[in-house]
Structure 1
Amino acid sequence: MAHGFLQPQEGRNVTMENVGDIYFKILLSHCLLEDANETRTRRIEEYKMHDLVHDIAMAISRDQNLQLNPSNILEKEHQKKGIQNVAFGFEKGCKITELGPLKNLQENENLKELYLNWPMERNDNNGYNDLEVLEGLQPNQNLQSLKILHFAGKHLPNNIFVENLRKINLCGCNSCEKLPMLGQLNNLKELEISSFQGLQAIGNEFYGNDPNQRS
């Protein structure tokens, strides 16, 4: 704000403080910020940005980051093998056929961080299948950090949670009715789960003891 980056639209009676508050709430709703300091009255005084978001921003200057949407996937295919951070932004959802050659990330041994963000609100009758998209990505076993926002499927596929994952952030997956087998990830050090309105309990599937759990 001090540098003049926040500018209200012309003709609207909105201050820079109002614009900043709008942007802040957008970041918070997309789980890009987390509580850092809470008073005794449970009032949040400070917020901090997730390490993954910071790392992706820093990686841009080192040509290690790749931001994708269905319209530019094919044209950036040549960057796939050497990239370390991939962020998928599905503005209106996505079909597995729209992922093109990037639907299989197993060949990219350098990929360390994967960030998948679906829109918060969309039409359920558009033919998109979030589960099919996740199953088709198939990241390499070297993946260490995974963040999934606003996934609309009823369950998350186990094959995307590779054994070397150290950090997992799942946010806004309100249709999910059960958790994947995260209890079997021996290298996992940080797990954050929020806004799972459809989740009623954590059962045996979390530890891989549910015979009906789909892989």
Structure 2
Amino acid sequence: MRSITARMFMTLDGVVQGLGRPDEDTRGGFPHGGWGPRYNDDVMGRELAKGMAAPGDLLFGRRTWQDFLAVWGRASDGNPFSAHMNAATKYVVSRTLDDVADWPNSTLLRGDATETVAGLKARPGNDLSINGSAALVRSLHAAGLIDHYTLLIHPLTLGSGTRLFEGPAPLTEYELTGSVTTPKGVIIAHYTRR
């Protein structure tokens, strides 16, 4: 059985919306887009690269897949993250997309997210990782399908925006399996479900 790791960039108050740039996700009138890049540094880059060292497939919700396609799918900049994203098998969970052929190595998973991902997880293959896709992570967490979290907790609060867990989340215990603090104050915490 495959494992699923959710990698989430978040603020101290749990906001996961609009990390990368001002126009990334303005839903709900979110005015704080682009809060994350000023905290990037070499330590964070090395830690994220460790996640790319082992073979693995990517799992996306529709919105995040479309955003990553626009940013990473067209990149030919020699960046190892671009090369990793473009080469990886990408599974896209969506009820509305008709096709995912715009980004090579993408496979559409139609229907209910928890059912389709549970079926994918049960099949042999590489482990799966989710970058972003908060709504997908919440639904998979509620179904007990998330095995590991890597949380990149940034030293700021925003006061508004989509949070990793909005409303009640089921009781689930995790063990801290490692952590690193970057020079810019980001805590990178790795958790495994008990």
TM-score, length-scaled by structure 2: 0.31
The structure whose RCO (Cα within 8 Å, separation 6+) is larger is 2
Larger Rg: 1
Give the TM-score normalised by the residue count of structure 1. 0.29
More strand by share: 2
